[in-house]
């Protein structure tokens, strides 16, 4: 059952088109993350769904009701903002109850809902304080509480953790996931942080310049990126790309890059690779094997820089005339200058057409 449905949505600010005929269906109870770099139109899309921006064209449905022209309060949504947006002159309690009072909900019901939200978010001791007396993490909890008391099925988050420091961010991330698991409502979550996206999402919509590049579950996005942009955007350090040409020899397929030929016969191509075709071979740093005994197709490379990270070790090397990174589990050291033999796991690699940038 769809919970939120966006159909052919367009939005322009004057002459600038931010969204152009965008379509998106979100299932009931789904956690959908809108992921993209700053300025790609994520907040704009979210504000359209919330009713805070007038759309230029298209329709928005929430629970199969056309809400395109409805006021934010009538859409059955709650929203959490990056800057928390708590009313500075009101106590936490009043912040939580403000919307209910405006809606003339009976006082007993208001008290009940505020109490429940405060319990869920563990902010009971803060109820009498002003926002200025709270830490960033506490403020964002209150902001989430404000969405919670509205008793709605759709939560909208606009980069809720971006203003927090790293430790609080991971804490609150878990909290939001827990909240979703217990409430089982629909959540649309905007972020530019791929870790948040991968850890939280049921499905991720990767956006670029107002266009959804790929909409899939996190593992599909990670393992089988639909195009070059998604492949480069997800993963840190990002995927290694080698531009080259397809070559067929002795019944095997190779991608030749600057004198080095990578055997790609094991790659599960969707369409047959054509000899002479210009392609981009993509391999994630963690999908490279180093000094693997018995690896048929191995290439010699020299270690430039080593970054030991405790649990794993990040190597920067030069191969086929370009820099690439390799992530190795374990604590084995490779001092700079040492040579290693690299082999790629083609079963989980990606090959893109160099012109269309689409996955092959």
Ligand X SMILES: Nc1ncnc2c1ncn2[C@@H]1O[C@H](COP(=O)(O)OP(=O)(O)O)[C@@H](O)[C@H]1O
Please report how close the Cβ of residue 326 comes to ligand X at its closest, in angstroms: 32
Q: Does 78 bind another protein (CB under 8 A)?
A: yes
Q: Does 44 bind another protein (CB under 8 A)?
A: no
Please report how close the Cβ of residue 42 comes to ligand X at its closest, in angstroms: 4
Cα separations in angstroms, 122 against 142, 169, 246: 10, 17, 58
User: Residue 1, class by beta-carbon neighbours within 10 Å (0-12 exposed, 13-18 middle, 19+ buried)?
Assistant: exposed
Please report how close the Cβ of residue 18 comes to ligand X at its closest, in angstroms: 4
Place of tokens 């992530």: 327
Longest alpha-carbon distance in the chain:
80
Q: Quick one: how far is CA 175 from the chain centroid?
A: 17
- C-alpha 328/C-alpha 22 separation (Å) is 40
Give the CA-trace dihedral at 86, 87, 90, 93, to 10 degrees: -40
Site for another protein in 123-152 (CB under 8 A): 130-132, 143, 146, 150
Q: Which two tokens mark 79?
A: 């929203």
Q: Which is nearer to ligand X, 16 or 329 (CB)?
A: 16
131 touches, from ligand X, another protein, Mg ion, none (C-beta below 5 to 8 Å by class): another protein
Q: Which is nearer to Mg ion, 43 or 140 (CB)?
A: 43
36 touches, from Mg ion, ligand X, another protein, none (C-beta below 5 to 8 Å by class): ligand X
Please report how close the Cβ of residue 40 comes to ligand X at its closest, in angstroms: 4
Please report how close the Cβ of residue 280 comes to another protein at its closest, in angstroms: 40
Please report how close the Cβ of residue 72 comes to another protein at its closest, in angstroms: 5
Q: Quick one: how far is CA 111 from the chain centroid?
A: 36
Q: Does 107 bind another protein (CB under 8 A)?
A: no
- C-alpha 168/C-alpha 187 separation (Å) is 21
Report the residue from 5, 47, 194, 277 that binds another protein according to the rule CB under 8 A: 47
Q: Which is nearer to ligand X, 43 or 186 (CB)?
A: 43
Cα separations in angstroms, 228 against 107, 196, 216, 240, 276: 55, 21, 15, 11, 20
Site for another protein in 287-306 (CB under 8 A): none
Please report how close the Cβ of residue 236 comes to another protein at its closest, in angstroms: 29
Q: Which is nearer to another protein, 103 or 195 (CB)?
A: 103
HSE (side-chain half, CA atoms, 13 Å) at 276: 0
For the beta sheet containing 252-257, the strands, ordered from the edge strand earlier in sequence to the opposite edge, are: 260-263, 252-257, 240-249, 278-283, 350-353
Query: x/- string (CB under 5 A) for Mg ion, residues 34-73?
Result: ---------x------------------------------
Q: Which is nearer to ligand X, 57 or 109 (CB)?
A: 57
Please report how close the Cβ of residue 84 comes to another protein at its closest, in angstroms: 8
Give the contacts of 101 (CB within 8 A, at least 6 positions apart): 110
User: Residue 348, class by beta-carbon neighbours within 10 Å (0-12 exposed, 13-18 middle, 19+ buried)?
Assistant: middle
Q: Which is nearer to ligand X, 16 or 311 (CB)?
A: 16
Is the link from the previous residue into 237 a cis peptide, with omega within 30 of 0?
yes
Q: Which is nearer to ligand X, 48 or 264 (CB)?
A: 48
- Taking Cα atoms as reference points, which of 342, 333, 25, 69 lies closest to residue 186? 25
Report the residue from 98, 183, 193, 241 that binds another protein according to the rule CB under 8 A: 98
Q: Does 191 bind Mg ion (CB under 5 A)?
A: no
Q: Which is nearer to another protein, 58 or 131 (CB)?
A: 131
Q: Are strands 154-158 and 186-191 parallel, antiparallel or unpaired?
A: parallel
- Which residues are at the interface with ligand X (CB under 6 A)? 13, 16, 18, 36, 38-44
**Residues at the contact surface with Mg ion, assessed by CB under 5 A:** 43
- Residues near another protein (CB under 8 A): 47, 50-52, 71-73, 77-79, 81-83, 85-89, 98-99, 102-103, 130-132, 143, 146, 150, 158
């Amino acid at each position: 059952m769809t919970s939120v449905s966006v159909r052919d949505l367009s939005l322009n600010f004057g002459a600038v088109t931010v969204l152009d005929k965008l379509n998106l269906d979100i299932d009931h109870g789904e956690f959908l993350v809108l992921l993209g770099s700053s300025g790609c139109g994520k907040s704009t899309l979210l504000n359209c769904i919330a009713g805070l921006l007038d759309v230029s064209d298209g329709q928005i449905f929430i629970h199969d009701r056309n809400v395109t022209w409805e006021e934010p309060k009538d859409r059955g949504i709650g929203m959490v903002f990056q800057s928390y947006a708590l009313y500075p002159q009101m106590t936490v309690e009043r912040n939580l109850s403000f919307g209910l009072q405006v809606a003339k909900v009976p006082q007993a019901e208001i008290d009940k809902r505020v109490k429940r939200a405060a319990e869920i978010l563990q902010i009971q001791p803060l109820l009498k304080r002003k926002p200025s007396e709270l830490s960033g993490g506490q403020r964002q909890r209150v902001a989430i509480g404000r969405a919670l008391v509205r008793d709605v099925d759709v939560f909208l988050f606009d980069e809720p953790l971006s203003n927090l420091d790293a430790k609080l961010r991971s804490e609150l991330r878990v909290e939001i996931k827990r909240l979703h698991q217990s409430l089982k409502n629909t959540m649309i979550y905007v972020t530019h942080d791929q870790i948040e996206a991968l850890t939280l999402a049921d499905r991720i919509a990767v956006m670029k310049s107002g266009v959804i590049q790929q909409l899939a579950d996190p593992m599909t996005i990670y393992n089988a990126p639909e195009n070059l942009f998604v492949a480069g955007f997800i993963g840190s350090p990002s995927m290694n790309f080698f531009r080259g040409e397809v070559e067929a020899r002795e019944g095997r397929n190779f991608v030749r890059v600057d004198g080095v030929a990578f055997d790609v016969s094991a790659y599960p191509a969707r369409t047959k690779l054509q000899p002479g075709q210009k392609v981009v071979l993509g391999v994630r740093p963690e999908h490279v094997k180093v000094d693997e005994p018995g690896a048929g197709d191995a290439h010699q490379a020299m270690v430039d820089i080593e970054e030991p990270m405790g649990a794993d070790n990040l190597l920067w090397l030069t191969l086929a005339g370009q820099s690439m990174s390799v992530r190795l589990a374990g604590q084995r050291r490779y001092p700079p200058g040492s040579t290693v033999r690299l082999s790629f796991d083609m079963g989980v690699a990606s090959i893109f057409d160099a012109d269309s940038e689409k996955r092959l």
